[in-house]
Amino acid sequence: MDRAFFSILQTVPTGDAERRRGWHRRWLWRTVLLLVVLVAVAPALVVELAARVSTYPDDGVRSPSPSTVVLDRTGQVLASYTADDGRWYLPTIDHGRWLPLAVEAVEDARFRSHAGVDWFAAYAAIGQNLMAGRVVRGSSTITMQVERLRHARPRTLVAKVVEAVRARQIERTQDKDAILAEWLERASFGGNVVGAGAASWRWFGVPPASLSLAQAALIAGLPQNPERLRPDRHPEQARERRDHVLRRLQAIGAIGAEQLAQALSEPVVLASRPLTSVDGIGAVPVLADLAKRRSGVLGTTLDLATQRSAAALAGERLERLAGSGIDAAAVAVLDVQNGDWLALVSLGGQPWIDHTAVARSSGSALKPFIYAGAFARGIATPSSLLADDPAAWRGWTPANFDRTWRGRCSAAEALRDSRNLPAMHLLEALGVARAAGIMEAFGLERLASQSARSGLTLAIGGAEVDARGLATAYAGLARDGRCVLPRLLAGPSAPSTPSPDGAEILPPTACRQVLACLNDRERTRVQCPAAVALEPAWKTGTSSGQRDAWCVALTPRRCVVVWFGVTRGPGSPALVGAELAAPVALAVLAACDPGGATWPPVDMGSATAVATNVVSAPLVITSPTASSEILRIDGSTKQRLALTCGGGGSGQRWWFIDGAPLVRVAAGEPAWWTPTAGRHALRVVDQQGQAAHVEVLVR
């Protein structure tokens, strides 16, 4: 090069020294400029060549593990759960209008014009850093940062070159929007928050698409130094960074002066509740189970206000029962018309158990379906007279809860007051298998299989049900005999095909008659005056051994199921459906039912339509029972033993002791006998000639 240079100089006229010096300077500057251009272009050429001759490593780049946020029907956060690695990450499709613009403005203003590496920014950064003697400015583009987020490397010059090469390769296979979206999904936004979706929920409690301009600017500024700029710990630094991002947006022409001023004046108000698992609304086990099966942002049909109200009412009553042995409660609230769960409350017991889905003894809660089936088949009407007398089946002598008998009473009265014997007579006439089939069709799962072992006890608690199943079934009655499967997920997370309206299980008239039997204003007023105007139909249930207390209260709009129970140890005398569950169920109904709709009118039938095949139960001696041993008090002439019987026809009863007449009494009345030592044969005959007998031993 030197030889060529001097040969050129020799061509310059030697007589003109000044011109010779001018030529020398020009060629010197041209050489320097050529060297500068070569130095500037060489890295780009090297990067481009390396990007073309190599391939992007196919090492299965994975997205972060998703966490879960569960929303109510209005978009409010019900609960949230970190991913398995302890980080918050929520895959997001729609980042809204402002957030992508703010990120481009502050991270890579020429993102749309460069091809992965912004060489102008790179050289400007080198110059500023050399002038300052330290790193004061970076030059990584959004695409280069995506590569760094995919493959973490030490912050070295070699790593920068690799990132530049990979950025060029990324740009050849992905468009700008996809690259920016990936950056928004992978960047750190403070603490264990990864991705703009989680950041938006974590800091402002809304999805990215709902962020205001100022909120989006604050989030866009966090990745520069996520810990130093965390808005919960360093609010002033976060606000200053937000304002810088806003001014950058104006500088690139994305917003105007008025928008800037308005955004700068907006206060930094963080979400009132951070992304943590939510308790206090009685939905911890319900939502935790949902989060185990799905991830991301899950929309549900639950209503936070209804959930809180139901949890507060049940929780207050549960607290007052402390020391009684009653340790758990559940509330299920269902929208009758569309089948949406509005509240699923689970309180007490083991914290991971969802009591709304645990099967417990039904008590008398299933009686309305027995009556509806009987009404539908013409076995009885609400006005039919049923037998409420002692009766026995194969030696088993069930009794009413209050241990009393009313003789004959209307079906409406028997159902409303939950008399056991009339319900069992109806069940016997309807058929256990048929009744269980009706219940299962209404949404009570496994009732048909349980009926084989429960028999007639199906009417009084021999089968197990859960709160969700009861709500589904009763809502079917309120829908005129049509069952709709409830749904919990809503929006994008809901099943693609909603469950259609079910076929008619029972005629509307039979369902309306049952609900009319259970709708009594004065009965409601005693329990909850606030619910009287809603004219609810409601039914209670108490399990044998008093371990479960139920109440179902419903209107044409809402169905509420309340359960209180004992999960450990013996039953509790306080567990009575009418005394414990009913006031809470009606109070929840009064709080969540918007009112308006009323029950349609219904014909309650004629009293002459007596279900004769129901009242004519076989005559049996109910006390004393067969093979009883009676202890006689020596020398007592006042000891008397009550002889009782059930079933049989109407009219008189004649009692005999060892074949000798004892006394004649009216049906339903006891006979009295002074026992004597020895073995005795007791016999009773009704007016129709039916007879029953037992043998007893008196000691």
Q: What is the CATH number for 258?
A: 1.10.3810.10
User: Is the pLDDT assigned to residue 8 strictly greater than 60?
Assistant: no
Q: Are 588 and 637 part of one and the same domain?
A: no
**CA–CA separation, 183 vs 180, rounded Å?**
5
Domain that residue 651 falls in = 618-698
Question: What confidence score (pLDDT) does residue 612 get?
Answer: 42
**CA–CA separation, 403 vs 416, rounded Å?**
17
Going by C-alpha positions, the residue among 361, 365, 364, 413 that lies closest to residue 386 is: 413
DSSP strands (E only) in 205-324: 296-300
Contact criterion met (CB below 8 Å) for 208 and 95 = yes
85 CB contacts (<8 Å, ≥6 apart)? 64, 65
Q: Are 397 and 507 part of one and the same domain?
A: yes
Residue 564 β-bridge partners: 329, 549
Query: Of 16, 34, 53, at which residue does a domain stop?
Result: 53
Q: Reduced to 3 states, what is the DSSP secondary structure of residue 608?
A: coil
Question: What confidence score (pLDDT) does residue 173 get?
Answer: 87
Top pLDDT among 81 and 422 is at 422
What pairing do the DSSP bridges indicate for beta strands 641-646 and 558-565? Answer: unpaired
Q: Can you give the CATH number for the domain in which 684 is found?
A: 2.60.40.10
Residue 493 pLDDT class (50, 70, 90 cuts) = low
User: Is the pLDDT assigned to residue 43 strictly greater than 90?
Assistant: no
Q: Is residue 300 part of a domain?
A: no
Q: How many helices (H) and strands (E) does the chain have?
A: 23, 23
User: Is the pLDDT assigned to residue 193 strictly greater than 80?
Assistant: yes
**Tokens 């090069």 sit on residue:** 1
Query: Of 239, 265, 291, at which residue does a domain stop?
Result: 265
Residue type at 464 in one-letter notation: E
Q: Is residue 524 part of a domain?
A: yes
Question: What confidence score (pLDDT) does residue 16 get?
Answer: 64
| Tokens standing for residue 654 | 């004649």
Residue 548 β-bridge partners: 565
Q: Are 464 and 347 part of one and the same domain?
A: yes
- The angle formed by the CA atoms of residues 234, 236 and 239, to the nearest 5 degrees, is 110
Query: Of 265, 292, 324, at which residue does a domain stop?
Result: 265
Q: Are 580 and 627 part of one and the same domain?
A: no
Residue 595 pLDDT class (50, 70, 90 cuts) = confident
Q: Is residue 456 part of a domain?
A: yes
Q: Are 487 and 632 part of one and the same domain?
A: no
**CA–CA separation, 359 vs 350, rounded Å?**
15
Q: Are 588 and 625 part of one and the same domain?
A: no
Q: Is residue 402 part of a domain?
A: yes
Contact criterion met (CB below 8 Å) for 410 and 388 = no
Going by C-alpha positions, the residue among 617, 197, 50, 565 that lies closest to residue 350 is: 565
- Residues known to be catalytic: 107, 364
User: Is the pLDDT assigned to residue 608 strictly greater than 90?
Assistant: no
**CA–CA separation, 94 vs 518, rounded Å?**
50
Top pLDDT among 608 and 176 is at 176
Q: Are 488 and 577 part of one and the same domain?
A: yes
Q: How far is CA 107 from CA 213, 253, 318, 498, in A?
A: 17, 16, 55, 44
User: Is the pLDDT assigned to residue 39 strictly greater than 80?
Assistant: no
Going by C-alpha positions, the residue among 481, 482, 364, 454 that lies closest to residue 415 is: 364
Q: Are 166 and 205 part of one and the same domain?
A: yes
Judge residue 503's burial from the number of C-beta atoms within 10 Å of its C-beta, 0-12 exposed, 13-18 middle, 19 or more buried: exposed
366 CB contacts (<8 Å, ≥6 apart)? 439, 444, 458, 459, 463, 465, 541
Top pLDDT among 610 and 31 is at 31
Question: What confidence score (pLDDT) does residue 342 get?
Answer: 96
What pairing do the DSSP bridges indicate for beta strands 548-554 and 558-565? Answer: antiparallel
Q: Is residue 571 part of a domain?
A: yes
Q: Is residue 459 part of a domain?
A: yes
- The domain total for the chain is 4
460 CB contacts (<8 Å, ≥6 apart)? 363, 364, 398, 420, 423, 424, 544
For residues 418-439, average pLDDT? 91
Question: What confidence score (pLDDT) does residue 531 get?
Answer: 96
| Residue range 323-355, pLDDT digits in tens | 888 999 999 999 999 999 999 999 998 888 999
Q: How many residues does the chain have?
A: 699
Q: Is residue 64 part of a domain?
A: no
How many CB atoms are closer than 10 A to CB 487? 17
User: Is the pLDDT assigned to residue 615 strictly greater than 60?
Assistant: no
| Residue range 144-158, pLDDT digits in tens | 888 888 888 887 777
| Residue range 115-129, pLDDT digits in tens | 878 777 666 655 665
Question: What confidence score (pLDDT) does residue 36 get?
Answer: 60
Q: Are 581 and 458 part of one and the same domain?
A: yes
For residue 556, whether the previous peptide bond is cis, meaning omega lies within 30 degrees of 0, is no
Q: Are 587 and 651 part of one and the same domain?
A: no
Q: Are 228 and 323 part of one and the same domain?
A: no
**Which of 22-31, 476-485, 684-693 is predicted with the least confidence, judged by mean pLDDT?**
22-31
Q: Are 539 and 669 part of one and the same domain?
A: no
The whole-chain average pLDDT of the chain stands at 84
What pairing do the DSSP bridges indicate for beta strands 88-89 and 341-348? Answer: unpaired
Question: What confidence score (pLDDT) does residue 122 get?
Answer: 66
Instruction: Write the DSSP assignment of 311-373 as a string of letters.
Output: HHHHHHHHHHTTTSS--EEEEEEEETTT-BEEEEEEEESSTT--TTSS-EE-TTTTHHHHHHH
**Tokens 């400029």 sit on residue:** 33
**Tokens 């979400």 sit on residue:** 271
Q: Is residue 217 part of a domain?
A: yes
